[in-house]
Amino acid sequence: MQPDLDIEALNKQIYIESAFVETLLTETRKVIVGQEYMMERLLLGLLTKGHVLLEGLPGLAKTLAIKTLASAIQAKFSRIQFTPDLLPADIIGTLIYNPREADFTVRKGPIFANFILADEINRAPAKVQSALLEAMQERQVTIGDSSYGLEEPFLVLATQNPIEQEGTYPLPEAQVDRFMLKVKIDYPTKEDEREIMRRNLNDERFGLVESRVSPEEVIRARKVVSKVYMDDKIEQYILDIVFATRDPKQYGLDQLDLLIQYGASPRATINLGLAAKAMAFIRRRGFVIPEDVRSVCHDILRHRLGLTYEAEAENISQEDVIKEILNAVEVP
């Protein structure tokens, strides 16, 4: 432990600074029924400058979730429906000739917002995907000869349908790696779906979401998240998990050696650390525990593992591999 670190004081600071998280979740619950897991992952992305790739069937409140979150944070929201005929200029904007002034003026695209919903990202061709991914990585776009910074907070939620693959352009591994989290969402529980049905039948679908949090509070919270204490043993635990995806034999996982084609990139290590700190912050703690790391592991790693044909033939998924690694790596 660092000699100048006062865990008790840090805990108090985190407890005070993280109060707005519950405020946000309370506001979103006025509209979103259930889907706590998805909302928590959106907050993880928001607190760590990470972007989220959401995989789920239609009708699971993906659009509604990010729109509601934007409303609760006094932030600008843009929804971009990705289609095969979309052009990069449709996202980032373009130069428009003004004959009166004999000059070009900039018309900014929908990317200039705080919350972007890239709906069905795999339906647009590669050059459009690249335009979005460049904005995500650099947090700026280039129109003509000038670059324009994007406003913070900036969060991209991209969705893709796991069933329909016909007429789609799958994201290459290098591009998928730029998403901090890949979240898989499932159907709501029977109780939640009963409540959804009642709200819709009684015309109570849209609750009144109040803008209770400012963008400045989110930006300030990000700085506090970076202060969350992470012990050397937790750092080593993260490294062991990531390196087990690259060299399973070293961790006694010989059975995975023929199943993993390539392991997680260094971005996985960075994002595991960031997400674990953000999870501790959401849970109003000033220090990271192993459970924080384990709770975000699947979302950080599932899109960064490449499996072999042998794994596909045996019907083994990334989830199965990650589960085995977590069971094998020693918990500090």
Burial class (CB in 10 A: 0-12, 13-18, 19+), 196: middle
- Residue whose tokens read 């000739």: 97
CATH of the domain at 322: 1.10.8.80
Residue range 215-230: mean pLDDT, rounded? 87
Predicted local distance difference test score (pLDDT) of residue 154: 87
User: 182 and 277: one domain?
Assistant: no
User: 215 and 284: one domain?
Assistant: no
Per-residue pLDDT at 301 exceeds 60: yes
Domain boundary among 167, 202, 219: 219
Residue 2 lies in a domain: no
Predicted local distance difference test score (pLDDT) of residue 213: 82
User: 232 and 213: one domain?
Assistant: no
User: 213 and 165: one domain?
Assistant: yes
User: 74 and 137: one domain?
Assistant: yes
Query: Would you place residue 300 in the very low, low, confident or very high pLDDT band (cuts 50, 70, 90)?
Result: very high
Cα–Cα–Cα angle for 281, 64, 216, rounded to 5 degrees: 40
Residue 308 lies in a domain: yes
pLDDT tens readout for residues 152-202? 888 888 888 776 665 566 777 777 888 899 988 888 888 888 888 887 787
Residue % of the chain over a pLDDT of 70 = 94
Query: Would you place residue 270 in the very low, low, confident or very high pLDDT band (cuts 50, 70, 90)?
Result: very high
Predicted local distance difference test score (pLDDT) of residue 204: 59
User: 39 and 104: one domain?
Assistant: yes
Residue 1 lies in a domain: no
Higher pLDDT, 208 or 166: 208
Predicted local distance difference test score (pLDDT) of residue 49: 87
Higher pLDDT, 204 or 245: 245
The lowest-confidence range among 5-14, 25-34, 122-131, 199-208 is 199-208
Q: How many domains are there within the chain?
A: 2
Q: With contact defined as beta carbons under 8 Å apart, do 225 and 281 qualify?
A: yes
| Mean pLDDT for all residues in the chain | 84
Q: From residue 38, how far is each of 168, 182, 192, 266 by CA, in Å?
A: 24, 11, 14, 25
Backbone angles phi, psi at 265, to 5 degrees: -85, 170
User: 264 and 155: one domain?
Assistant: no
User: 202 and 250: one domain?
Assistant: no
Residue range 266-278: mean pLDDT, rounded? 93
User: 89 and 180: one domain?
Assistant: yes
User: 144 and 103: one domain?
Assistant: yes
Predicted local distance difference test score (pLDDT) of residue 3: 43
Residue 307: CB atoms within 10 Å: 18
Residue 152 lies in a domain: yes
Per-residue pLDDT at 276 exceeds 90: yes
Residue 146 lies in a domain: yes
Query: Would you place residue 60 in the very low, low, confident or very high pLDDT band (cuts 50, 70, 90)?
Result: confident
pLDDT tens readout for residues 64-95? 888 888 888 888 888 888 888 888 888 888 88
CATH of the domain at 68: 3.40.50.300
Per-residue pLDDT at 206 exceeds 70: no
Predicted local distance difference test score (pLDDT) of residue 169: 67
Predicted local distance difference test score (pLDDT) of residue 274: 93
Domain boundary among 201, 219, 237: 219
Q: How far apart are CA 20 and CA 17, in angstroms?
A: 7
User: 282 and 152: one domain?
Assistant: no
Predicted local distance difference test score (pLDDT) of residue 312: 85
**Neighbouring C-alpha atoms within 13 Å toward the C-beta of 160:** 21
Helix (H) or strand (E) holding 80: strand 77-81
Query: Would you place residue 209 in the very low, low, confident or very high pLDDT band (cuts 50, 70, 90)?
Result: confident
Domain boundary among 155, 186, 219: 219
Give the residue ranges of DSSP H helices in 152-302: 173-176, 190-201, 215-225, 232-246, 266-282, 290-301
User: 174 and 250: one domain?
Assistant: no
Residue 81 lies in a domain: yes
Residue 48 lies in a domain: yes
Find the domain containing 309 and state its range. Answer: 228-328
